[in-house]
Chains A and B, each alone.
Chain A
Amino acid sequence: MEKFSYVNATNLEQVTSLLNDSGWGEVMVIAGGTDLLGELKEYVETPKTLVNLKTLPGMDSIAADATGLKIGALTTVADIAMHPTIQRHYTVLAQAAASVATPQIRNVGTLGGNLCQRPRCWYYRDETVDCLKKGGEICYAVEGLNKYHAILGGDPVYIVHPSDIAPALIALGATIKIAGPEGEKTMAVEEFFTLPATNPFRENVLEPNEIVVEVQVPQPKPNTKSLYLKAREKGAPDFALASVAGVFEMSGSTCNTASIVLGGVAPAPWRSKEAEAALTGKMISEAVSKQAGADAVKDAQPLNDNEYKVVLTQNLISRAAMMAAHA
Chain B
Amino acid sequence: MPEKKEYKVIGTRPIRHDGVDKVTGRALYGADFHTAGLLHGRVLRSPHAHARILSIDTSRAEAYPGVKAIVTAKDLPDAADKVADLGEGAVHLKYLCDNILASDKALYKGHAIAAVAATNAHIAEEACALIDVAYEVLPPVLEVRQAMEPAAPLLHETLKTGSLGETAEEPSNVASHLQHKKGDIEAGFAEADVIIEREFVTGTVHQGYIEPHNATALYNPDGQLTVWCSTQGAFTVREQLTEILQYPISKIKVVPMEIGGGFGGKINVYVEPVAALLAKKTGKPVKVLMNRADVFEGTGPTPASFIRVKMGATKDGKLTAAQTHLAFEAGAYPGSPVGAGAMCIFAPYDIANVLIDGYDVVVNKPKSAPYRAPGATNAAFGSETVIDELAKELNIDALEFRIMNGAKEGVKRADGPVFPRIGFIESVEAAKQHPHYTSPNGKKHHGRGVASGFWFNIGLASSVSISVNPDGTINLVEGSTDIGGTRASIAMQAAEVLGIPAESVNPSVVDTNSVGYTAVTGGSRTTFATGYAAYEAAQDVKRQLIARAAKLWEVDEEDVQFADGEFSCINGKEAQLSFHDLSARLGETGGPVVGSAAVNPPGAGGAFATHIVDLEVDEDTGKVQILRYTATQDAGKAIHPSYVEGQIQGGVVQGIGWALNEEYIYNAEGTMTNASFLDYRIPTCLDLPMIDTVIVEVPNPGHPYGVRGVGEVPIVPPPAAIANAIYDAIGIRMTELPMSPDRMLKAMGKI
Contact = CB atoms under 8 A, between A and B. Distances in A.
A37 interface: no
A115 B350 CA distance: 61
B153 to A, nearest CB: 20
Contact of A312 (B621, B674, B684): B621
Contacts of B622: 308, 312
B681 interface: yes
Given A308-B746, A312-B622, 7 more contacts: A1-B122, A144-B667, A231-B621, A233-B741, A234-B684, A311-B750, A311-B751
Contacts of B671: 126
Contact of B681 (A1, A3, A234, A318): A234
B661 A233 contact: yes
Contact of A241 (B126, B665, B673, B741): B741
Contacts of A126: 671, 673
A187 interface: no
Interface in B650-688: 660-661, 665, 667-668, 671, 673-674, 678-679, 681, 683-687
A102 B502 CA distance: 39
Given A128-B47, A308-B741, A311-B750, A235 B687 contact: yes
B683 A234 contact: yes
A2 B750 CA distance: 47
Interface of B: 47, 122, 125-126, 619-623, 660-661, 665, 667-668, 671, 673-674, 678-679, 681, 683-687, 740-742, 745-746, 750-751
Contacts of B684: 234-236
Interface residues of A, number: 31
B249 to A, nearest CB: 39
B97 to A, nearest CB: 27
A315 interface: yes
Nearest to A307: B751
A111 interface: no
Nearest to B679: A122
Contact of A235 (B620, B674, B686, B742): B686
Nearest to B671: A126
A282 interface: no
Interface of A: 1-3, 120, 122-123, 126, 128, 144-145, 147, 231, 233-239, 241, 305-308, 310-312, 315-316, 318-319
Nearest to B682: A234
B208 to A, nearest CB: 13
A123 to B, nearest CB: 8
Nearest to A143: B668
Interface of B is mostly: loop
Contact of B668 (A120, A123, A144): A144
B750 A145 contact: no
Contacts of A318: 620
A312 B665 contact: no
B683 A122 contact: no
Q: Which 10 A-B pairs have the closest CB atoms?
A: A235-B686, A315-B620, A122-B673, A308-B742, A308-B745, A231-B621, A235-B687, A234-B681, A311-B750, A307-B751
Interface centre among B673, B679, B687 (most CB of A within 10 A): B673
Contact of A316 (B621, B683, B685, B687): B621
Contacts of A237: 678
A237 B122 CA distance: 29
Nearest to A239: B678
Contacts of A120: 678
B661 A234 contact: yes
Nearest to B740: A233
A312 B683 contact: no
Given A128-B47, A144-B667, A316-B621, A122 B674 contact: yes
Contacts of A311: 620, 745, 750-751
A58 B138 CA distance: 57
Contacts of A312: 620-622, 741, 745
B298 to A, nearest CB: 16
A307 B742 CA distance: 8
Contact of B741 (A3, A231, A305): A231
Contacts of A238: 678, 681
Nearest to A42: B293
13 contacts: A1-B125, A122-B674, A122-B679, A145-B667, A231-B741, A234-B686, A235-B684, A235-B685, A308-B742, A308-B750, A308-B751, A312-B620, A318-B620
Nearest to B291: A41
A126 B125 CA distance: 17
Given A145-B667, A315-B620, A319-B620, A233 B681 contact: yes
Contacts of B687: 234-235
A289 B674 CA distance: 35
A323 to B, nearest CB: 12
A303 to B, nearest CB: 12
Interface centre among B620, B622, B678, B685 (most CB of A within 10 A): B620
Contacts of B679: 122
Contacts of A308: 622, 741-742, 745-746, 750-751
B631 to A, nearest CB: 21
A307 B681 CA distance: 21
Nearest to A231: B621
Contacts of B685: 235
Contacts of A239: 678
Contacts of A236: 684, 686
A120 B746 CA distance: 24
Contacts of B745: 308, 311-312
Contacts of A123: 673
A319 to B, nearest CB: 6
Contacts of B621: 231, 241, 312, 315-316
Contact of A3 (B122, B623, B660, B740): B122
A2 B740 CA distance: 37
Given A308-B622, A312-B622, A316-B620, A147 B742 contact: yes
A147 B742 CA distance: 8
Interface centre among A1, A3, A312 (most CB of B within 10 A): A312
Nearest to A101: B678
A235 B653 CA distance: 14
